[in-house]
Structure 1
Amino acid sequence: MGRAPLKHAQRKDQARGINRRALLAGAGASAGLVLAWAIWPRNYRPNLNAAAGETIFNAFLKIDRAGQIVVIVPQTEMGQGITTLLPQILADELGADWRTVGVQSAPVSPLYANDLLARQWLASDWTRLAGEAGEWAIDQYATRRALMLTGAGTSVPMFHQSYREAGAAARVLLCQAAAARWDVPWESCDIQNGIISDGGQKRLKIGDVVEDAAALDVPEILPFRQRQTDRLAGQDLPRLDTPSKIDGSHNFAADIRLPDMVFASIRQGPIGDALLKSVNEDAARSVTGFLKLVRTDRWVAAVATNWWAANKALDLADPVFELMGNPVSSEGIEAALEQAFAGSSGQRLYSRGDLAPLFDNATIMASEFSVDPGLHLALEPMCATARVTDDAAEVWTATQAPGLARAAVADALGIADGSVTLYSLHAGGSFGRRMDVDVGVQAALIAKDIGRPVQLLWSRLEDVIQDRPSAPAHARMAAKLGRNGVIEGWLAKVAAPCAMTQTWDRVAHRKLPFEAARDAAGISTRLAVSGMELPYALPNWAVDHFPADPGLPVGFAPGNARLHGAFFTESFVDELAHQAGIEPISFRIQMLGGNPRLAHCLTTVGAMGGWQGGIEGSGQGLAAHQMDGVYAAVMVEAAINGGKLSVGRIIAAVDGGDQVNPDIARQQVESGLIYGLAIAMGASVPYARGMPRRAIMGRMDLPRLADIGEVSVELVRSSAPPAELTDIGAPLIAPAVANALFTVTGQRFRKLPLLPRT
């Protein structure tokens, strides 16, 4: 097997220039932790399996004798196109024929740890103060715990360089092998469309020398491709997952079939600390095909020869749960958020300048905003298939955290992590919901109890009840306008629970949802106010977070806290522009002197959309945002017809760097825009007595094709490194629509969903 171009953990340290001796010398009180980590093994080798005729080149690539390119992808495909983007990066550097490229999901391994998302998720005041040393510590934690995470638009930024190196290394090795046969310098050889040539008449297929190539060594300096023509990167190549999804051969979790397999449905009680009290098993036995009820303290599952029978048996069994504490209600959520402002755990997380003298005895403009929790409502409900023996388990499921899912299953079964084989499948949508790992654990426990392979599929009702929605939030915004409409001071106070903190406690620390919500209730963190850090160059501004416990467990979502953060910020900016009597694009651009990329997006979207200046009756509104190397502006045309919101046009201008596949990039933006529109229109439900009052999607005022007109996405040309655009659209659409509705109604819409529930 050929040597990998660089060991994963070593490469990351070298890239940051971290000197371990200097780190240990300056570690102070934390030196014990760093020293303990330092004795761990640093090098990892690929744990891939090779079929007959396949050769493993590195952790990201296998090639067989026929020239089939098999790219290993550690990220979960949820419709965002990552199983095309990462192979396209590698195939471009390799010089492969795109028609020969296939994809295989990666096994759990430290080589695939997503330390970029881990740094975003686990950063604290300590790690920020420690600088590079703090980042190094998180990277080591992520690598050694094999934190394979998909989310927050980190897949391409995290793995772009690794896939370039993997492709370049394989190209060099293949060229070396061919050059040895031809007795020419390998530097004179290249690969194009899967054919190795020496620039003259000598030609070989990749598969002809694959075994010879894998036995060679990569040079110390790895050359990347210099050719600028006939490159795969930057092309609108067809998605690799499309054909199988069209012909039905693509396997999602509910498609798995095993010998002797049975089916299960589950009930988990109302939201909160709920214990199973009673169940009518005699009634369940009346259903043809029913086999058994499997009970735990927190849930009951019916097992049958088909899923319909299992779900029907549960309906007849009529499980009764006892709820400890106060049940979740919409009124309780609102009260808890308001009460948080009066609490003592609020903290100033962002600050520039000094607001106190500026606001003292001054005329201040103030507004209050609120956002309801937003449901995920993925097309595919939670599902997992499990087969368990006395000392091992296999689990088939879609998960955004396969390493943590495997560990949770092993812990529940009382076996070692290595005894669990987890087959990470593509998800039929997720929007962050599959960061939680409970369905795999439940399936494994049911399979162990019944002694047969089991497929557990949640009903749509269960999916809604047990959803971990995006966080509800309240905001109190205040600002002082100076001469010429300049914002002299800005203060945002936000009351919200932190969804990312709760999610980490659930998936990493095995806390029950109500425990994670309770334990995070007093923690103030920047993760809860993401998107509130202003892109505008204001001299004096601050953001305060007031942690809250509304009793509703919350979770990962597109944009996470930016769903409410951008709504608060961009809606209030529009109000200030109106108060100052300045056209909204100009109002924003005058504050973007140090941010030309966002200014360019604003001018582009204005030109594309025929911006009329936000005048009364125009029905036009806009919003701008930046996040993690992505800059975007959105303009919409919206109206209220017959009491229902309609959006005639959506125009987005996005600068996300040099995109690998522009067509997929546009798909990602469009997907985020529609998800954000669903949040604005009705992807939330009222709660009462610990339960959602709606569970049928047709009653949630979700956007339909008839409600949405033309959607145009312009990718601004950029030479910056490519970013992933999965999350940028979702936070932008709600404030843009709210600002548009103001021009036709004269009223400000400061609450999501934007229209009252019918």
Structure 2
Amino acid sequence: MGRAPRKQSVREKGLDRRTLLIGGGAAAGLLLAWGAWPRTYAPNLAAGPTETIVNAFLKIDRSGQIIVVVPQTEMGQGVTTVLPQILADELGADWRTVAVQSAPISPLYANDLLARQWLASDWTRLLGDAGRWAIDQYATRSALMLTGAGTSIPMFHDAYRDAGAAARVLLCKAAASRWGIPWESSDIQEGLISDGAQRRMKIGEVAGEAVAFDLPPILPYRQGQDGRLAGQDLPRLDTPSKIDGTHNFAADIRLPDMVFASVRQGPIGDAVLAGLDDRAASGVTGFLKLVKQDRWVAAVASNWWAANKALDLADPVFTLRGTPVGSDVIDAALEAAFSKSSGRRLYAQGDLEPVFDGATILASEYQVDASLHLAIEPPCATARVTSDGAEIWMATQAPGLARDAIADALGMTRDAVTLYPLHAGGSFGRAMDWDVGVQAALIAREMARPVQLLWSRLEDVIQDRPSAPARARMAARVGRNGAIEGWLAKVAAPCAMAQTWARIADGKLPHDAAQDVADSANRLAVAGMAPPYAIPNWAVDHYPADVGLPLGFVRANAHLNSVFFSESFIDELAHLANIEPMSFRIQMLGGNPRLAHCLTTAAAMGGWQGGVAGSGQGMAAHMIDGAYAAVMVEASMAGDRIAVGRIIAAVDAGDPVHPDIMRQQIESGLVFGLAFATGASVPYARGLPTRAILGRMNLPRLADIGEISVEMIRSTAAPTGVNDLVAPLVAAAIANALYTWTGQRIRSLPLVGTP
């Protein structure tokens, strides 16, 4: 088995955080810890009588089954296949023997990459490596397990490869010890350890012995391509159980003596329960009890339908303090934000003032409405609470924070609360909030028996934490040669990411979280606004706003708005300069060849006609965290409806671990982007959305979606996340296409004439 030096990744530079320390012992298993930590952490995995804990990411059963431990929440994006594939590839496992298990809450699974994106501030940026180290330490010590923003693969790729390599070495050492040969002479292929000659042994036979051996100072990685699993379209591990119905989502959990609950909360904002009709609810067959809290009331019954009916009859009344949220209130707040003193320049390059002084500039204003999550699975949690502790079954993208919130609500220590993380039926960021778990736990304590709480779709829509509404004022000067000489973006928007953190980490009520961050300019609110083009002078200003609508973590977050603003405006500038839109972009991408390649590929695949009038073609390009994409669409108007005939995407996201899953994520992002462009937004009035039925949301259906083509550009770069990459591109591409069809520039989302 060949040796390869361990390469230093980008995240390893400076503090050398990823230096792997190995300690071992048959009792505790192999400990994985990192060099910069002041302490080591042992895996807190449960092991059956025939299982051996090899490291924090791997258990091996005596039968030879490979059990890969995954800390990321599976929401349909395929993470419970891709991460095990990385480990199994490096181990040399037979894919047919690989299983997956959700990770318990542990510092070993902290997502410091997302923590750095989320928690970086002016101070941490000023401190450089020390600031990043501080965030990493906070994330680790807090066991900050997070799923989102396409960070799963970039964050854990190396850890799973190292875990597989470490296990392979230990297993080879154990087998070689039995055979009396140097361990370097053995290898693992398709789940069998061999000496390169005649002797073979199953992995499970020596798993128990392997953990007693030591690892070499440098982990050798597998060489060659024979028998490799990486890069193959392997069967997804979650597909069989989802097909035969044995896959457990939150609503599938059943416990002895369990009852069911539905909940009602007040209008959006600072709402408290004022009264209800107890006697009317008691007439429902199967009804058991009303559980009342200051801000919500739940009905408990022998089945969910009875519980929800009892709530209807109880007709709870809430008192709303403050101004009710409404679409007019949101619009007024965004407009007023531009004149507030809290606006701040967050990004700048060059000097705009002399460029704009006395020049003729193009100025346009854009607006985006808040967009709902509308995941297929409404919030749901099952809880069992006793005097000894609590158990919670729920899908959550932040299990450590959810557990802590539940413990605080019950007045228990965090060690007394066990949270079983489940897969989510979609999420798009909705499962970052944990309020359904807290409610389920409090109801279960009140009932002294297990309770499953499921929100109705109406409750899900009313209490959703949508994407941020935003307004942008764009201005630019185009030189005689068609190049952009100056670019200014002023964005009025609340910061949904800051609000989310205040809720899930600091325990703030939604309306309090919104108010607490209302006057703070934040880079997270304008993420994606920094242009990828070679513009010598540009700036991005953020004007924070309190729109009265609590907001949340969503797919692509602020990039959803930013790309619509920037790529629509780029198209306007191209037409102003009388330059074909693709060429206009390409001339500014000399220093960004990967994005330029995506643009030319999408144009070639789609038969780009130059954006001429009547073509119905539009395009947009963007990059996020080392991943690049361009989208071209063909769209037209059929009466007052938008018809999207084709969507073509070209993506460079590094060397994919599982190409088909990457393709699935890209296609999912394109459809999500179409929904964002044409629907998923609702008007608000008097503290409530004015519609809540999915059929009235103008969401795209299969019949509304034309041909989708995806080209993944071959790359030797490290694999990146693509979950957020293409969704922001679709709205701008459609708007640009409709301009060529109608001659009218659409500058607001959702677009008019929805499917």
Structure 1 residue 186 corresponds to structure 2 residue 165: no
Q: 1:425 aligns with which of 422, 425, 434?
A: 422
Match of 2:509 among 512, 531, 548: 512
Secondary structure at 2:370's aligned position in 1? coil
How many residues of Structure 1 are paired with residues of Structure 2 in the alignment?
731
**Residue 342 of structure 2 corresponds to residue 345 of structure 1:** yes
Superimposed CA distance per residue, residues 618-676 of structure 1 (whole angstroms, 9 cap, x where no aligned partner): 11100000001100000011111131112111110000001100000010111111111
Render the CA deviation track for 1:339-380: whole Å, top value 9, x for unaligned.
Answer: 000100000000001111111111010100000000000000
> Is the CA contact 1:391–1:415 (under 8 Å) kept in the aligned structure 2?
no
**What pairs up with 1:24-423 in 2 under 5 angstroms?**
42-423=39-420
Does 2:715 align with 1:713?
Answer: no
| The one of 581, 592, 596 aligned to 1:595 | 592
Pick closer, same or farther for the CA change 1:392–1:40 going to 2, 3 Å: farther
CA distance in 2, matches of 1:69, 1:501: 40
Which residue is 1:733 aligned to?
A: 730
Which residue matches 2:20?
A: none
Which blocks of at least 5 consecutive residues in structure 1 are unaligned? Answer: 1-10, 21-37
2:754 & 2:607 partners in 1: Cα distance? 32
Deviations 1:250-276 (A, max 9, x none): 000000000000000000110000000
State the Cα distance separating 1:210 from its structure 2 match: 1.1
Q: What is aligned with 2:22? A: none
Could you tell me whether the CA contact under 8 Å between 1:567 and 1:734 is conserved in 2? yes
Distance 2:531 2:263 in 1: 44
Residues 555-598 of structure 1: per-residue CA shift (max 9 Å, x gap): 01111000000000000000100111111111101001110000
For each residue in 1:434-487, what CA deviation from the matched residue of structure 2 results, as whole angstroms up to 9, or x when unmatched? Answer: 000100000000000111100000000000000000000000000000021100
Check conservation: 1:13, 1:136, Cα contact below 8 A: no
Q: 1:619 to 1:256 in 2, by over 3 A?
A: same
TM-score by length of 1: 0.95
- Output the CA distance in 1 between the equivalents of 2:601 and 2:494: 36
Following superposition, the deviation at residue 612 of structure 1 comes to 0.7
TM-score (normalizing by structure 2): 0.96
Q: Deviations over 1:528-570 (max 9, x none)?
A: 0011011001000000000000000000111100000000000
Residue aligning to 1:751: 748
2:482 to 474, 485, 503: 485
The question of whether the paired residues in 2 share the 8 Å contact of 1:269 and 1:321 is answered with yes
What percentage of residue pairs aligned between the two structures are identical?
73
1:39 & 1:242 partners in 2: Cα distance? 39
Q: Could you list the runs of 5+ residues in structure 2 that have no partner in the other structure?
A: 1-7, 18-34
Q: What's the C-alpha RMSD, in Å, of the aligned pairs?
A: 1.5
Aligned match of 1:3: none
Distance (Å, rounded) in 2 between the aligned partners of 1:98 and 1:48 = 22
1:661 aligns with 2:658: yes
Decide whether the 8 Å contact of 2:253 with 2:382 is kept in 1.
Answer: yes
Alignment check: 8 A CA contact 1:275 1:323 kept: yes
Q: State the match for 1:436 in structure 2.
A: 433
2:699, 2:636 → 1: CA distance?
Answer: 16
Counterpart CA distance in 1 for 2:391 and 2:302 is 20
Shift of 1:17: 3.5
Q: Give the equivalent residue in structure 2 for 1:34.
A: none
8 Å contact kept, 1:384–1:396: yes
Letter in 2 for 1:444: A
What is aligned with 1:676?
A: 673
CA distance in 1, matches of 2:228, 2:178: 27
Q: Which amino acid aligns with 1:718?
A: S
| 680, 695, 700: which one aligns with 1:698 | 695
What is aligned with 1:474? 471
Letter paired with 1:433 = R
Q: Secondary structure in 1 aligned to 2:576?
A: helix
Which residue does 2:629 correspond to in 1?
A: 632
The letter of the residue matching 1:563 is L
The residue number in structure 1 matching 2:448 is 451
Q: Residues of 2 paired with 1:273 and 1:142: CA distance?
A: 31
- Separation in 2, partners of 1:621, 1:65: 57
Residue 485 of structure 1: SS of its match in structure 2? coil
The Cα shift of 1:604 comes to 0.6
CA change 1:193–1:533 in 2 (3 A) is same
User: How many Å separate the matches in 2 of 1:235 and 1:205?
Assistant: 23
Tell me how far 1:41 sits from its aligned partner. 5.1
Large movers: runs of 4+ above 3 Å:
11-14, 38-41
**Contact 2:186 2:196 (8 Å CA) reproduced:** yes
Q: Secondary structure at the match of 1:474?
A: strand
Q: How does 1:573-612 map to 2 (within 5 A)?
A: 573-612=570-609
Q: In structure 2, which of residues 531, 535, 557 is the aligned counterpart of residue 534 of structure 1? A: 531
Judge which range, 212-221 or 380-389, deviates more: 212-221
**What residue identity is the alignment partner of 2:217?**
E
Partner of 2:4: none
